[in-house]
Structures are given as structure tokens and as C-alpha cells.
Chains A and B, each alone.
Chain A
Amino acid sequence: MYVAVKGGEAAILATHDLVAEARRGDPAVPEILVAQIREQQALACARVMNEGSLYDQDLAALALKQSQGDVIEAAFLMRAYRTTLPRFGSSEPLDTAAMAIRRRVSATYKDLPGGQVLGPTYDYTHRLFDFALMDEGSEAAPRKAPAPLDATMPRVPDILGAEGLMEAEEPPEGDPRPFDLTRDPVSFPADRDVRLQSMARGDEGFLLGLGYSVQRGFGGTHPFVGEVRVGEVAVEFVPEELGFAVDLGDITLTECQMVNQFQGSKEVPPQFTRGYGLVFGHSERKAMSMSLVDRALKARDFGEATNYPAQQDEFVLYHADNVEAAGFVEHLKLPHYVDFQGELELIRRIRKEREERLAQEQNAMPEAAE
């Protein structure tokens, strides 16, 4: 009858055992290996790396294994680990023009230097089950192209930029080190480095919804995909003691640049404006959503109205973080007896006082009628 339970500690420890059991599932089925997740669930790993803000495929795979495939829980594991890592410096800016291309498509030009490279994509698959995948050992080796890809593939916005048609993007004065929102509190209005950083680690679903809202009229962008490219880019770092750049290795990135219309002003001739998205791994949907919202968030810079959610930095940045959002939504599971008791006491008292008042009024009524 009385639930003021001692023994919370034992119960908590038991939940850990239970979750381990649930994670393992039927012991008759072989345990999944981290390497299998890394190699065969790479898109899930990419999402975990993005939302966990840490490029480490093995840890992403481990996080997915540990969290039973719960992507937000996996991102949480990544972040809680990332926050303890020493920071020894910032890399040199990445050069995505020098990307080793796996996939590169443009919606603005039929053909362009380097060509359209379709690469691995679900875009043209029919979403029919491949029941052969139910069984092991079904693999097809792709055919090799007769000729290698072009060594250089200029980025579409750079092609437009050469003609002066694209909004130029210059680093802010003095090219300061970008803000780090995991180390310093964000203030508003937020600068572009903060916005991009926040979106890169933001929830894919949330950004997808916001990007979609912009397309449907809740924010007026009319974008073309200038280019989406996926591939490997070298990360370089200049150790102070050496004074020259050292190659730390390659990371897989997806970059999307959207071309948006913009009316010029008296001072500025009309130019296209840019929406930018850059994310870890092969994550086109995320990169595209990000570039839609990036352009929407530039509304203030261009003197446009900011009537819609996707155009409001405080709305987007605070709510895109799914680890924070999940924590706060799920904290509602925690006990709130004390607060609820306060509400109960109040509502009962208000109702009682109301009943008393009504009763008094009713008693007073017959006299008034006489």
C-alpha cells in the first residue's frame, strides 16, 4: 500500500541487467559485431557521428550496438564521451573542392566539368524488398568504370561565383577561430558559424521538417541544388612545433550547396544567395535540409521578414539539438509528486470555495424571490 520504497538502488542496478538482456535478444542468434555495424550500417553510423559531433566510425558503431540501434541514445553516448576528450587544436580549413569524389550531382547544369557522378544512391532504386537479403551471401560486385573520374571537379557555386552571380562568402574580419558551442554558451542573434555548427549536430528529422516547411511556404526560399557532393577529404593540422601542415587522415563528408534567388538592391546588383550544408559521412538528406535552413536563417542578414520558424535562429538552434530535447522531454518521467501535490491542493481548494459560494448564492436566492 505504501510506496515510499527504500531499495531504489537495487532496483536501478536491476534495470542495468535487464537492459543488457534485452540488448542481447535471443542468445541462439549470434551476437552482432561492432565491425559489422560499422561496415553494413554505415548510414546509421554517419547519423550518429553527426548528431554526436564526433567523427569515429568504430565508436559510432559501438554506440549503436550499445543503444540497441536507438540513434539518439547512440548520439548521446558519443557526446558524453566527446566532452571528455582533450582538444589539442583546430585543423586547417577543409578543401572540399579537392574532395575525392564518390558522388556528385548538380541540378542546375546538365553537364559541367567533372560531369555528373551518380555513385551509390537509393535515388533510382524501386523501394521493393530484396528478399534475397534475408539470406546471407548475396553480394554483387560493381563493374569498374572504363576511365577514372576527373581529378578536379569545381564546385558549382564557384562556377557561378566566377561570373559574380553568387553571393560571395568571405570569412569574418581577422578570420577568427569559429565559435565552439560545446564550450561556450550561445547568445542571440547567433552568427553563422554558430548556426552552421548547431545544425551540423542537429536532429536530421527536425531539420528535414524545417527545410520542408520552407519549401511549402513557411519561409520563402526557392532553391536549386547547385551541387551535392560526397567523398573523402583530407584533414590537415599544423602543429605549433613543426609550423607546417601534417595530414591526419581522410574523413567522408557530404556537402550541399543550394542556389537561391535574391533580389539585389540599389547598391548590390542581383545575385544568387547560398544555402550551405556540410555533414559527416554519406548523409545527403541531412546536408540538403541543413542548406535549406541555413538560407532561411540568413533572412535577417538580407533584411527579409523573419515570420516563420525556420527563419528564427533562436527557435532553430534551441530546438534542433535532439539530445537536449530528448533529455527534457523524457525528464517528465521523473517524479513530480511535490509539484503535482501543489496543483492538487490548489484545484481542490478552488473547487471547494466555488461550491461554497454557489451554495451560499442558492440559499440567498429564495429570499430574493420573495
Chain B
Amino acid sequence: MTIHQMPADNTKPAYNYAYLDEQTKRMIRRALLKAVAVPGYQVPFGSREMPLARGWGTGGIQITAAIIGPADTLKVIDQGADDTTNAVSIRRFFERTADARTCEATDDATIIQTRHRIPEAPLKPGQVIVYQVPTPEPLRRLEPREAETRKMHAWAEYGLMQVKLYEDIARYGEITKTYDYPVMVNGRYVMAPSPIPKFDNPKMHMSPALQLFGAGREKRIYALPPYTSVRSLDFEDHPFRIQSWTQPCGLCGAGDSYLDEVVIDDQGGRMFVCSDSHYCETRRAEGHRGTMLGDAAASGLVEETTP
């Protein structure tokens, strides 16, 4: 039973701290504990209907709501950026319901809720990263029935996945999975890392941060405790490799970050910029300049900071 709606003296009915009632938070925390105890295993949980749409981060939101407290600082990113529309919307949700202190600096955050990226700056011990997950089942596209995929995990029966990866190589010369690239967790469970680019997969391996995954629509939670082995599936003669670009970030000149492509005219003009907006800003503040920063600053589209 939720007690938060019992109106106190002359107050209007209000939502509980961080929206979810305390019983629900406890249910989610129990699922989280189980998930942490069995890394990579998908724990079914009583996912609640949320005031945001399914597929828009309800799993991540429920986890964040279950773990956030007044002492936390929350960073929300989508596609690596703090200012994409849905990241803004989710950050507003927690500012409104949990009076949350929010930030954009990866370093300052105690909880980072993310969709599709892991920040470029290395995560630290004590930080928690919460992933929004659309399809928690890495085998789903190979076997649509949940009753079957649960058995496949129970028996560690992952031959189907290896065959799929092999077929990619046979057809295209390489594995064509570019995001949500399957990983083997702790030598036991094959896990969907959520649709982060495979560029980010190595960051999960032995990360000092706690990594939590929430799939609201599919009602699953899973986790990677700190310092867990996370290996991207591959073959000895076709080792795993990540994306690379022929040019650095146009704004900050970074050569080691994941880049977004921006179409700048209808003549085939392209500009590549960091997808991690905070990383890019930090580098510019430190005085790094990309070749197109002048143009972008002149047209008022980014602020040029002087070091």
C-alpha cells in the first residue's frame, strides 16, 4: 500500500520523494541486490507504470528513483549529451520529484543516468551509472520467446550467438554489430550492454563504478558490480575492435572520443564533434581547439571559453 497519498493536515495530496512509493522502492532495491549478486543475470521486477512513456527510460528512472537520496548529485545524459531533449526531461523529473541536485560534470555526479553512452571521463569508485535499456535480452533477436531464452541462459547455451557473429563475418568480413554489442559477464552470462556503441564496451570491463541496468517495459533489472570482468564476444582470428574516425573532434580536437556526425550544408559538408558534450566543453575550457571551433563560435552556436 502506498501511504504517501494520505493527506496530512491541510496539505494537498502529493507524490512521495522521487515519485515512487517506499514499498516499490524496496521491491526495486531487492531486485538490485539480487542483480548485483548475480552479475549479468536479468532479474524480473514489478516494473511500475510511470508518468513517462515506455521506451523513454522508465527502467532507468525507476532505478534512479529507488537509489537517489538528498545527498546525491545526478547527471542525466542521452547520446552522451546533457542537453538532448529526453535527458532534459528526465533531469527535470528528478528536480521536480526528488528536489535533486543535478550537474553536468561527470566527476561531480554520484549517480549518472544514461541512454546510449558511457561518459568519456573514467568513472570513479563510489559512482553509480544507471543505463536505460530497451531490450535486456541479448538473445531476443535470435529467439523471440522469453520462455526459451531464459532456458538458454540457465544452461549457458550461447552457441546461437556465436553462430550469428560468425555468419556476420562470413557475409561481410566482420561482425556488423555496432551498438548493443553482446558481452560475456564474469565468464557466465551473456548480457546486452544496452545500445551503447561498442566503442564504450571496454569501459565496462573492471569499472570501479557500480553499473545498473533498468528495462521498464520488459520489467528486468541487471547489474555489474564494481571490478567485474566484461568481455565483448569475438573470435581469436577476428578480435573485437572499436570504432575509429579519420579526423578528431571539430570543436575540441579530441582524437580519443566517440564522435557525432553533423551535416553542415547540402554540399556533403560534415563536421565531427564529441558526443560527450561535457567532455568536449571541459577540453575547450582547457584550451584545446578544434579546426571548426572558430566558425561555430562566430555563429554563436557554441560558447568559446577562454582558458
Chain A residues engaging chain B, CB cutoff 8 angstroms: 1-9, 11-12, 76, 79-80, 82-88, 182-189, 314, 323-324, 326-331, 334-339, 341-346, 350, 353
Contacts and interface: CB of A to CB of B under 8 A. Distances in A.
B176 A335 contact: no
Interface stretch (B183-191, B203-211, B225-233, B269-277): B269-277
Given A334-B56, A334-B86, A185 B2 contact: no
Nearest to A187: B44
A85 B51 CA distance: 13
19 contacts: A1-B265, A1-B299, A2-B264, A2-B296, A9-B92, A76-B53, A83-B49, A87-B2, A182-B49, A185-B45, A187-B44, A327-B217, A329-B55, A335-B79, A337-B79, A338-B79, A341-B259, A343-B179, A345-B245
A317 to B, nearest CB: 10
A5 B79 CA distance: 13
A353 B50 CA distance: 47
Contact of A323 (B49, B115, B145, B299): B49
In this complex, the member of A7, A323, A335 whose beta carbon has the largest number of chain B beta carbons within 10 angstroms is A335
Contacts of B217: 324, 327-328
B71 interface: no
B88 A9 contact: yes
Contact of B178 (A2, A334, A342): A342
Contact of A344 (B244, B261, B265): B261
B171 to A, nearest CB: 10
Contacts of B235: none
Contacts of A346: 176, 178, 243
Contacts of A327: 53-56, 58, 217
B170 interface: no
Nearest to B147: A188
A148 to B, nearest CB: 42
B255 interface: no
Given A9-B92, A187-B44, A327-B53, A4 B3 contact: no
A85 B3 CA distance: 9
Contact of B258 (A9, A12, A186, A338): A338
Chain B interface main SS type: loop
A336 B197 CA distance: 11
B1 to A, nearest CB: 5
Nearest to B258: A338
B275 A337 contact: yes
A185 B47 contact: yes
A350 B260 contact: no
Given A327-B53, A345-B178, A350 B88 contact: no
B75 interface: no
A352 to B, nearest CB: 11
B59 to A, nearest CB: 11
Contacts of B70: none
A27 B239 CA distance: 65
Nearest to A345: B243
Nearest to B172: A350
B2 A86 contact: yes
A86 B5 contact: yes
A12 B89 contact: yes
In this complex, the member of A1, A79, A82, A88 whose beta carbon has the largest number of chain B beta carbons within 10 angstroms is A1
A6 B83 contact: yes
Contacts of A344: 261
A314 B137 CA distance: 15
Contacts of B80: 338
B234 interface: no
B273 A4 contact: yes
Contacts of A9: 83, 88, 92
